[in-house]
Amino acid sequence: MSVDVEVVESAQPDGVVPGERGTWSLSWHGLRTVAVLELRQRVRSTRWKTALIVWFLMVGLITLLTTGAFSILSGDQPGSDEPFGGTVYSIVVGFVLFLGLLVAPALSSGAINGDRNAGTLATLQVTLLSPAEIVLGKLAASWIAALAFLVASIPFLVWALVGGGVNWLALLTTVLMLALMLGVVCAIGLGFSAIVSKTSGSAVLTYLTVGGITAVLPILFGLLVPATTTTESVRVWDVEPGYTWEETTAPECEWQTHEVDVWHSERTWWLLAPNPFVVVADAQPLNGDPEQLSEEGNMLAVLQYGVRYARTGDTGPQDWCSGYVMDGNTIQPDSPVEPVKVSDQLVWPWGLGFDLLLGAAGVVVAVNRLRVPTAELPQGTRVA
C-alpha cells in the first residue's frame, strides 16, 4: 500500500506530540485516514473489481438456476400453489454466506503483514496515528470492501423474496447478520496478519479458523453423540407384553417402562451455535412454523428447527404403539404422548456473541502487535 502523505498529515491532531497518544487512543480523523488509504488502494486494484463482477455473476446464476428449477418442479405438480420463494431464498442466502466466508479472509489477512513486507507499515507507525487507529481503520476498510460484495447480492435476495413464502422483515435480518459475520471474519484475518509474517500463512490460518467454527464444531457435535447418550428408564406407550404381531386381533397399547438409550443433545448444542450458517438461520423471522417449513425444503427453517431441537434435548415419554396400521385400520390413532415441543429459546445470540468475541480477540492482538516501540521483532521482519 502506498502512503498518501498529505492525507496522513491532514489527520494529525493539532498540538499533540507522539508521547501523548496511547496505544488505544482513537479519533475520527485517524480512523478515517487509514480507512481512506486502504480503500483507495483497493479501488485502484483491478483484481478487486474483477472479483466483485464474478461474485455478481455467480450469485445471479445460482438464483436464476434455482428459480427456474423450482418453477419447473412446481409446474409438474398440478394443483400445487405453494410458494417456493422460501426455498429459493434460503439457498441464495446460504450461497452468499458461503462465498462471503471465502472472500472475507482474503480482504483482511494481508492487511498488516502485507504493508510490513512492503515497508509502508512503519511509515504509518511513526506518525501520530495510534496502533488502535491503524488496526480499526484497516478493519473498517476490509469490512467495507466485504460489504460491497454483500450489496451486490441484495437484488437477488429481493428477487427470491418476490417468490413468496418469506417475511419481508427477513431481508433486513439476513443482511444484518451476513454483514456481522463478514466483519467477524475480517477481524480474525486482521489478527492473524499481525501475528504471521507471510500473507499466505495468515490467510491459511484465517481459513482454518473459519472452517473450524463452520465444519469442525458440528463434526465434534456428532462425534460426541456416544458420550452424551445414556441408558435410562423411560415411560413408553407400547404394545401389550407378549404380542407377536402374528395374531389377527389388534394389540392393546399400555404404559410400560423400558431401558432406553437417551441422547442428551442439550449438553452439546452450544457447539453448533457459533456456526455462521446457524447464526443467520436462527435469527430469521420465519413466515410460519419452523417444522412445517423445514418439511417444505426451506433450508433456513431446517437449520433453525434442528438447532433448537438439539437444545431441547430429551423429550420424556415415547410412543411406540400409536400409528400402526393393521387390516386398513390404524391402531390407537390418538396418542397419549404429547408431541415434542421444541424449545423456542434463541440460539443465535450465543453464537453471535462467541463470534464477536473471537473477532474482538483478533483486533486486540493486532493492536498489541503494533505497539511502538516494539520490544522484540521476529527474525526476518522488515521494519522499513
For residue 66, what pLDDT is reported?
87
Q: Pick the residue with more confidence: 103 or 250?
A: 103
For residue 215, what pLDDT is reported?
95
Report if residue 216 sits inside a domain.
yes
Report if residue 274 sits inside a domain.
no
Per this entry, what is the length of the chain? 384
Q: Pick the residue with more confidence: 177 or 11?
A: 177
207-211, 262-266, 324-328: the lowest-pLDDT one:
324-328
Whether the predicted pLDDT of 95 surpasses 80: yes
Report if residue 384 sits inside a domain.
no
Whether the predicted pLDDT of 43 surpasses 70: no
For residue 76, what pLDDT is reported?
47
Whether the predicted pLDDT of 15 surpasses 60: no
**Bridging pattern class, strands 229-239 and 325-326:** unpaired
Closest CA to 365 of 185, 183, 146, 188: 188
C-alpha cell at 179: 454483514
For residue 374, what pLDDT is reported?
60
Report if residue 255 sits inside a domain.
no
CB-based contact 204:198 (threshold 8 Å): no
For residue 247, what pLDDT is reported?
67
Task: Give the residue-averaged pLDDT of 6-14.
Answer: 49
Task: Give the residue-averaged pLDDT of 10-37.
Answer: 71
Q: Pick the residue with more confidence: 118 or 288?
A: 118
Whether the predicted pLDDT of 367 surpasses 50: yes
Task: Give the residue-averaged pLDDT of 100-116.
Answer: 90
For residue 83, what pLDDT is reported?
59
**Residue 256 to residue 233: CA distance in whole angstroms:** 10
Eight-class DSSP state of 310: H
Closest CA to 70 of 288, 282, 299: 299
Question: Tens digits of per-residue pLDDT, 131-162?
Answer: 999 999 999 999 999 999 999 999 998 888 87
Report if residue 126 sits inside a domain.
yes
Average pLDDT, the chain: 82
Task: Give the residue-averaged pLDDT of 307-318.
Answer: 86
Report if residue 319 sits inside a domain.
no
For residue 79, what pLDDT is reported?
42
For residue 381, what pLDDT is reported?
58
Report if residue 344 sits inside a domain.
no
Q: Read off the pTM.
A: 0.84
For residue 72, what pLDDT is reported?
79
| Number of domains composing the chain | 1
Share of the chain above pLDDT 90, in %: 41
For residue 75, what pLDDT is reported?
61
What kind and span of H or E run contains 262? strand 253-263
Report if residue 48 sits inside a domain.
yes
Share of the chain above pLDDT 70, in %: 80
For residue 25, what pLDDT is reported?
84
Task: Give the residue-averaged pLDDT of 332-360.
Answer: 85
Structural domain including 84 reads 5-221+352-369
